[in-house]
Amino acid sequence: MPFPDELGPAVNVADYNPDWPAEFTHLAARLQAVLGDRAVAIDHVGSTSVPGLAAKNCIDAQV
């Protein structure tokens, strides 16, 4: 399912943001709190998970 910013003609790619790992940690904690033991693993995936790589400013998680 595309996000609203993916429906336009251009995708914005941002320089690597050193805050992305912390943003994922916050997101993972929220997901774990809701899902409990049903979530066997919550992983940071996608381009924002690669240090130094420019990426679309969207944290991707795989549960």
Dihedral sign (CA 19, 10, 61, 54): negative
pTM of the model: 0.82
Half-sphere exposure of 39 (CA within 13 A, CB side): 15
Q: Name the residue with tokens 């996608």.
A: 46
Residue 6 pLDDT greater than 90, yes or no = no
Cα 52 to Cα 9, 17, 18, 20: the distances in Å are 26, 8, 8, 11
DSSP code, position 18: T
- Other CB atoms within 10 Å distance of the CB of residue 42: 18
Q: Where are the domains of the chain?
A: 38-63
In the structure, what pLDDT confidence band is assigned to residue 16 with cuts at 50, 70 and 90? very high
